[in-house]
């Protein structure tokens, strides 16, 4: 099976529930008679029948302006949907802004992976549809672009604007096409500094996109919306957050045509394999991974609540936090077991062997290797705007001023911090040059973290200033080979020294991670001049949550750290 066939199969399997939204749609069980003169009436029937024959449930909804402010209607339209078919003009010959507002609700749902925008437009009008979407989803507001337009008109003459605008529009549409970007850049060479200056953007592409949008007669958002991750005007597709968006003509109503366009978009992505793997995993959970097994069915409510009461009574805070975390951990393990026994088609031996042969002469970029290692060893919880709240846990990693703190406290103590009086063990790390980290790989005690960074947790016993400095990249040392030579010279004097990871005890003011931060302070004797005092206590430092290192990677570091107290010091005379 080809990669293209496999992508189509996985995308098709992942779509089970869809909805068609159009102000002229003909809802089923409606008293409105079918009108052959209204294209959308026939389209409603064709879509329903074709999706039904393909095993996909399709709801048909006749849009009204009041739907945008009706939370129950929006919940009905979006919750649990895998594919949204959205009309571009939701009010006769206009209503584009209604479509854009609904699209913003769609991309805000992480579980909606696919959206098709239906339109009858073609030629220049189709370009305008695409430009409207790019203008609305651009990390800018109408007020921002109105102000920017005034600055542009003050900075550039009308003739200059007429000259550069088509080029900036091309950059906007083809922002992911390196060849077109290079050609456009050459043509605006004399205006580059002014383009950057008027927008305040150091990046030429970003600055050009902003000017293009400001000068367009298109819809802009009142509240800033996220920009697309991927834009392909030739393929009429975008990717915003987790949602693949395609533009379709209203004559395209066969599920296989729609699914093929979606799968082709994913297939062309640099990271398509992991995207498809994620989709297949979700489908596996939906179809056959029940969280209820025979043992759980034998547990009565009395048993559950008795255990909860027991944990509350034994909790210093008299809360059921421990019970909730325990149940979540049990369910997580259940999910792990279910997925572990599932057969994923992407991991089929014959398919993997075939793809390995295809890619055997291709070298992955350092960026893709870094991304893979980050994916392997970490997962990040979203603490923005209170989306996630949890207690400090084994593997949570924090940072302040370039110093990293990794929690290696036992899971059972993290679950009940009152038993350890909020005193946790951390290990302290420093950044390591990312290319050096890739060279060392799993031979070193390092962690790969978001934003293409790596942290080293290990230092030699004794004087380590020189070793620490070797972990970062000096400006005068450009090549990886030179860095390795430098490190080997340093290691020549260090290779016989014991290497250690020292566990550090820290007191945490509140074990609950709030807004992505916690407050910590060292538990040790410090000279009076080395710290400020706050009512006789060492002051707390606020450290920022970065990511969570997965348990097996953290356990490897913790195992080495807790051998530190077992070290034995001896004395020898040395010749220096």
Ramachandran category for residue 244: left, alpha or beta (phi over 0 → left; psi -120 to 50 → alpha): beta
| Residues 432 and 325 grouped into a single domain | no
C-alpha span between 428 and 457 (Å, rounded): 6
Overall pTM surpassing 0.75 (yes/no): no
Per-residue model confidence (pLDDT) at position 390: 76
Burial readout 194-223 (b: 16 or more C-beta within 10 A, e: otherwise): bbbebbebeebebbbbbbbbbbbebbbbee
Does any domain span residue 292?
A: yes
Strand partners, 512: 391
Tell me which residue of 413, 394, 380 sits closest to 516, measured CA to CA. Answer: 380
Per-residue model confidence (pLDDT) at position 531: 47
Residue 443 class from Cβ within 10 Å (0-12 exposed, 13-18 middle, 19+ buried)? exposed
Residues 6+ apart with CB under 8 A from 432: 446, 454, 455, 456, 471, 472
| Residues 396 and 512 grouped into a single domain | yes
| Residues 91 and 46 grouped into a single domain | yes
Per-residue model confidence (pLDDT) at position 538: 67
Per-residue model confidence (pLDDT) at position 364: 80
Last residue of some domain: 273, 291, 324? 273
CA angle 142, 147, 150 (to 5 degrees): 130
| Residues 348 and 387 grouped into a single domain | no
Does any domain span residue 572?
A: no
| Residues 285 and 263 grouped into a single domain | no
Strand partners, 426: 407, 504
| Residues 376 and 348 grouped into a single domain | no
Does any domain span residue 180?
A: no
End-to-end CA distance of the chain: 67
| Residues 127 and 30 grouped into a single domain | yes
Overall domain count for the chain = 3
Per-residue model confidence (pLDDT) at position 536: 46
Does any domain span residue 544?
A: yes
The three-state secondary structure class of 10 is helix
| Residues 420 and 344 grouped into a single domain | no
- In order along its 576 residues, the chain shows pLDDT tens digits of 788 889 899 999 899 999 999 999 888 877 788 888 888 898 888 888 888 988 889 999 999 999 999 999 999 999 999 999 999 988 877 789 999 999 999 999 988 999 999 888 888 888 999 999 999 999 999 999 999 999 999 999 999 999 999 999 999 999 888 888 889 988 988 888 999 999 999 999 999 999 999 999 999 999 999 999 888 888 888 999 889 999 988 777 788 888 888 888 888 776 688 888 888 888 887 776 555 666 766 778 888 788 888 888 877 667 766 788 778 777 777 777 777 777 888 888 888 888 888 888 888 888 888 888 998 899 888 765 455 567 899 999 999 999 999 999 998 888 888 888 899 999 999 888 888 788 777 777 889 998 889 998 876 555 455 455 555 544 444 565 665 666 565 555 545 556 678 888 999 998 888 888 999 998 764 455 554 454 445 688 999 999 999 989 999 999 988 887 766 766 666 555
| Residues 264 and 295 grouped into a single domain | no
Boundaries of domain holding 8: 3-170+213-273
Tell me which residue of 192, 187, 221, 225 sits closest to 206, measured CA to CA. Answer: 192
The three-state secondary structure class of 11 is helix
The three-state secondary structure class of 406 is strand
C-alpha span between 435 and 455 (Å, rounded): 12
25: CATH:
3.40.50.2300
Per-residue model confidence (pLDDT) at position 301: 82
| Residues 263 and 311 grouped into a single domain | no
Does any domain span residue 199?
A: no
Query: In this structure, are strands 243-249 and 114-119 parallel, antiparallel, or unpaired?
Result: parallel
| Residues 144 and 265 grouped into a single domain | yes
Ramachandran category for residue 356: left, alpha or beta (phi over 0 → left; psi -120 to 50 → alpha): alpha
C-alpha span between 124 and 261 (Å, rounded): 22
Does any domain span residue 496?
A: no
The residue to which tokens 């004395």 are assigned: 571
Does any domain span residue 470?
A: no
Per-residue model confidence (pLDDT) at position 93: 74
Query: How many Å separate Cα 142 from the centre of its chain?
Result: 27
Last residue of some domain: 355, 379, 402? 355
Does any domain span residue 112?
A: yes
Per-residue model confidence (pLDDT) at position 372: 86
Last residue of some domain: 336, 355, 374? 355
């Amino acid at each position: 099976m080809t990669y293209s066939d496999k992508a189509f199969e996985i995308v098709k399997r992942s779509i089970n529930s869809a909805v068609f939204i159009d102000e002229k749609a003909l809802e089923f069980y409606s008293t409105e008679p079918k009108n052959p003169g209204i294209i959308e009436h026939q389209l409603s029937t064709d879509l329903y029948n074709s999706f039904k024959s393909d095993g996909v449930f399709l709801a048909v909804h006749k849009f009204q302006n009041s739907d945008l402010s009706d939370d129950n209607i929006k919940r009905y339209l979006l919750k649990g949907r895998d594919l949204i078919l959205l009309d571009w003009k939701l009010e006769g010959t206009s209503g584009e802004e209604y479509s854009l507002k609904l699209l913003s609700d769609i991309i805000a749902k992480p579980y909606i992976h696919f959206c098709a925008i239906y339109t009858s437009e073609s030629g220049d009008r189709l370009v305008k549809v695409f430009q409207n979407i790019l203008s609305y989803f651009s990390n800018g507001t109408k007020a921002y672009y109105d102000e920017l337009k005034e600055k542009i008109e003050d900075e550039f003459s009308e003739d200059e604007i007429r000259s550069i605008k088509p080029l900036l529009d091309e950059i906007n549409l083809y922002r992911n096409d390196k060849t077109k970007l290079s050609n456009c850049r050459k043509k605006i060479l004399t205006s580059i500094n002014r383009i950057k200056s008027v927008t305040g953007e150091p990046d030429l592409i970003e600055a050009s996109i902003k000017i293009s949008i400001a000068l367009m007669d298109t819809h802009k958002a009142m509240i800033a919306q996220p920009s697309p991750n991927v834009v392909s005007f030739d393929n009429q597709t975008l990717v915003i957050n987790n949602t693949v968006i395609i533009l379709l003509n209203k004559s395209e109503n066969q599920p296989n045509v729609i699914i093929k366009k979606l799968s082709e978009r994913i297939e062309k992505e640099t990271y398509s394999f992991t995207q498809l793997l994620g989709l297949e995993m979700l489908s596996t959970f939906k179809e056959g991974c029940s969280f209820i097994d025979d043992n759980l069915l034998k547990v009565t409510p009395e048993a559950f609540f008795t255990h909860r009461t027991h944990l509350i009574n034994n909790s210093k805070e008299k809360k059921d936090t421990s019970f909730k975390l325990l149940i979540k951990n049990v369910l997580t393990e259940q999910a792990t077991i279910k997925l572990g026994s599932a057969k994923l088609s992407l991991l089929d031996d014959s398919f993997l062997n075939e793809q390995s042969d295809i890619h055997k002469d291709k070298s992955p970029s350092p960026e893709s290797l870094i991304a893979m290692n980050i994916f392997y060893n970490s997962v990040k919880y979203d603490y923005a705007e209170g989306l996630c709240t949890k207690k400090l846990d084994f593997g949570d990693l924090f940072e302040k001023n370039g110093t990293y703190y990794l929690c290696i406290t036992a899971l059972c103590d993290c679950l009940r911090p009152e038993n350890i009086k909020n005193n946790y063990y951390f290990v302290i790390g420093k950044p390591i040059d990312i290319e050096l980290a890739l060279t060392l790989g799993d031979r070193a005690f390092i962690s790969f973290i978001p934003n293409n960074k790596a942290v080293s947790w290990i230092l030699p016993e004794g004087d380590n200033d020189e070793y620490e400095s070797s972990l970062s990249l000096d400006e005068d040392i450009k090549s990886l080979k030179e860095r390795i030579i430098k490190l080997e010279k340093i290691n020549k004097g260090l290779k016989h020294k014991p290497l250690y990871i020292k566990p550090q005890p820290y007191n945490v003011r509140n074990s609950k991670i709030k807004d992505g931060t916690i407050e910590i302070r060292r538990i040790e004797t410090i000279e009076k001049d080395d710290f400020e005092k706050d009512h006789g206590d060492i002051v707390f430092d606020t450290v920022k949550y970065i990511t969570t290192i997965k348990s097996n990677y953290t356990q490897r570091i913790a195992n080495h750290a807790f051998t530190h107290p077992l070290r034995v010091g001896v004395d020898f005379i040395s010749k220096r």
